Amino acid sequence: MAKRSGGLRFQPSGGQKKQQIPTGKKQRLSVQRLANDGRGIAFVDGRTWFVEGALPGEEVEARVLTARSQIVEARSERVLTASTQRRIEPCAHARVCGGCTLQHLPATEQLALKQRSLAEQLSRLAGIEPQEWAAPLSGPEFCYRRRARLAVRWDNKARRLDVGFRASASQDIVAIHECPVLVQALQTLLPALLAVLHALDKPQAIGHVELFSGTAEAVLVRHTVALAEADLQRLTAFAHEQSVQLWLQGEGAPQPLDTAYALGYRLPAWDLELAWRPGDFVQVNAPVNEAMVVQALEWLAPEAGERVLDLFCGLGNFALPLARAGAQVVAVEGGEEMVERARTNAAHNGLNGMHFYQADLSKPLVEAQWAEGGFAGVLLDPPRDGALEMVRQMTTLGARRVVYVSCNPATLARDAAELIGQGYRLKRAGVLDMFPQTAHVEAMALFERPE
């Protein structure tokens, strides 16, 4: 008897394997609906196509980016029949730059997409819905981004310096001459910055450039080898002419060329100024950030003297306003350097009664003295992978109210299910439109535990 194979083989109905779709192939598609990431969805020959730049109801000609099994990723290159929702993108680079993927969709529809994405994740992954949906927090559609990183690459073959953002689904650099999502101060600065970079003798030394606008404008130049003296002089002259702070970063941490000037951002509603330096996390959208802090304090509703715990506190973006509101704040962050920076920010603003601690928040709170005594409320603002270990210990912290600020609805839903299992109720949830023109979803959720 013939020896049987130990593996199982599956074939599509009909007994023949489907032909692989080559990268670059063009295909006419009828788009049915939008995915949560803003791509159009179409179906052809049993395959699902995810199409960048396409809207429901449209007929488009798309080019294949990648294809695997039953999934094809593509980019719309020609709109044959346009949706009534489609608008002309305000940015000349919109269709090739990977930074903004939804400029062809009106702002109201972008918000609706993000709201649907949050609701779907909470329902599908956690089986829950908030008792109340909060109105989305939003700000200006454009001129909102106060921090950005520009990719820099010297093309030796073409003898050309490319400065811009990564192309969609590619490592290629889209050389830009404008960026309407940047705050106006950075848009004004951009032409002079591009000019000085193109004038460098040794542009091969530049890795990337970062821009920041806060209490001052700053430019960080990341260099992989030592800068030529003439190039350093050019950059210094540029910074002086444009009245910006110049920061340099080689092998170590970023360093300002002139240490006499402060750099940071303000939270005017609480008369606070927080020091910031390149490498620190900061919310890029100042108006939405301030609205987010206002809402977090309203939802947490600390009474004067109540103990509140701020986990993943960063520079003190939530902790300092909480203290200004009269709460007794314990703030915790993973890195000692960031903890010290938050502590300095508190002292600079005259908030000397706060307590800051360093702890690995991805691990159980073993012998953490700062966690003892209980808290009336807990605020969490974790990175994309969420705060599962912290929410597993929430009842031990004694919090009646938990405000969870999330940059990933999937991990928010996962952690929400854990809190529901501990007896909390999802009282309220809503979208924070921190990144207009993109499908990126940030959210805030309020959990309460019955007395």
CATH (domain of 391): 3.40.50.150
Question: Is the pLDDT assigned to residue 86 strictly greater than 90?
Answer: yes
Question: Is the pLDDT assigned to residue 4 strictly greater than 70?
Answer: no
**Contact indicator for 450, 421 with CB cutoff of 8 Å:** no
Geometric angle at alpha carbon 129, from 123 and 130, rounded to 5° = 150
38: tokens are: 């803003």
Residue positions annotated with a catalytic role: 407
Asked whether residue 122 is assigned to any structural domain, the reply reads: yes
Asked whether residue 17 is assigned to any structural domain, the reply reads: no
φ/ψ (deg, to 5) at 59: -105, 120
Q: How far is CA 330 from CA 182, 318, 353, 389, in A?
A: 34, 11, 10, 18
71: tokens are: 């999934």
Give the contacts of 239 (CB within 8 A, at least 6 positions apart).
Answer: 219, 245, 246, 257
- The predicted model gives 259-278 an average pLDDT of 96
Cα 248 from chain centroid? 24
Asked whether residue 7 is assigned to any structural domain, the reply reads: no
Rounded to a whole number, what is the distance in angstroms from the first to the last CA of the chain?
Answer: 72
pLDDT at 367: 81
| Exposure b/e, 256-288, CB count within 10 A at least 16 = b | beeeeeebbbebeebebbbbbbbebebbbbbeb
Question: Is the pLDDT assigned to residue 3 strictly greater than 60?
Answer: no
Are 432 and 323 found together in one domain?
yes
Place of tokens 């520009």: 150
Are 308 and 436 found together in one domain?
yes
- Looking at 47-200, list the stretches that DSSP marks H as alpha helix, in order from N- to C-terminal side: 107-126, 184-198
Are 304 and 366 found together in one domain?
yes
- The predicted model gives 11-28 an average pLDDT of 74
209 pLDDT band, cuts 50/70/90, is: very high
Handedness of CA 92, 97, 102, 107 (dihedral sign): negative
Q: State the amino acid at position 329 in one-letter form.
A: V
What mean pLDDT value characterizes the chain? 94
Residues facing 162 on adjacent strands: 153
Are 297 and 433 found together in one domain?
yes
How many other CB atoms are found less than 10 A from the CB of residue 318?
27
- The predicted model gives 56-60 an average pLDDT of 98
Asked whether residue 16 is assigned to any structural domain, the reply reads: no
> Over pLDDT 70: what percentage of the chain?
96
The CATH code of the domain that includes 32 is: 2.40.50.140
Structural domain span for residue 191: 147-256
pLDDT tens per residue across span 221-246: 999 999 999 999 999 999 999 999 99
Are 243 and 351 found together in one domain?
no
Show which of 256, 271, 301 is a domain's final residue.
Answer: 256
Question: Is the pLDDT assigned to residue 397 strictly greater than 70?
Answer: yes
Q: Lowest mean pLDDT of 125-134, 153-162, 202-211, 408-417, name the range.
A: 153-162
Show which of 208, 238, 256 is a domain's final residue.
Answer: 256
> Over pLDDT 90: what percentage of the chain?
89
Are 81 and 192 found together in one domain?
no
Cα 442 from chain centroid? 8
Are 136 and 151 found together in one domain?
no
Question: Is the pLDDT assigned to residue 1 strictly greater than 50?
Answer: no
Question: How buried is residue 99: exposed, middle or buried, by Cβ count under 10 Å (0-12/13-18/19+)?
Answer: buried
Question: Is the pLDDT assigned to residue 45 strictly greater than 50?
Answer: yes
Are 132 and 170 found together in one domain?
no
Place of tokens 């807990």: 378
Question: How far apart are alpha carbons 415 and 246 in whole angstroms?
Answer: 41
φ/ψ (deg, to 5) at 242: -95, 0
Asked whether residue 21 is assigned to any structural domain, the reply reads: no
- The predicted model gives 412-423 an average pLDDT of 97
35: tokens are: 């995915």
Asked whether residue 39 is assigned to any structural domain, the reply reads: yes
Question: Is the pLDDT assigned to residue 418 strictly greater than 50?
Answer: yes
- Total number of domains in the chain: 3
Are 194 and 245 found together in one domain?
yes
pLDDT tens per residue across span 316-363: 999 999 999 999 999 999 999 999 999 999 999 999 999 999 999 999
pLDDT at 5: 41
Question: How far apart are alpha carbons 230 and 240 in whole angstroms?
Answer: 15
Are 135 and 151 found together in one domain?
no
The CATH code of the domain that includes 190 is: 2.40.50.1070
Give the contacts of 295 (CB within 8 A, at least 6 positions apart).
Answer: 134, 137, 430, 444
pLDDT at 16: 57
Asked whether residue 275 is assigned to any structural domain, the reply reads: no
| Exposure b/e, 46-66, CB count within 10 A at least 16 = b | eeebbbbbbbebbbbebbbbe
Number of H helices, E strands in the chain: 9, 23
Are 412 and 341 found together in one domain?
yes
Asked whether residue 20 is assigned to any structural domain, the reply reads: no
Question: Is the pLDDT assigned to residue 115 strictly greater than 70?
Answer: yes
Are 135 and 170 found together in one domain?
no
**Contact indicator for 122, 129 with CB cutoff of 8 Å:** yes
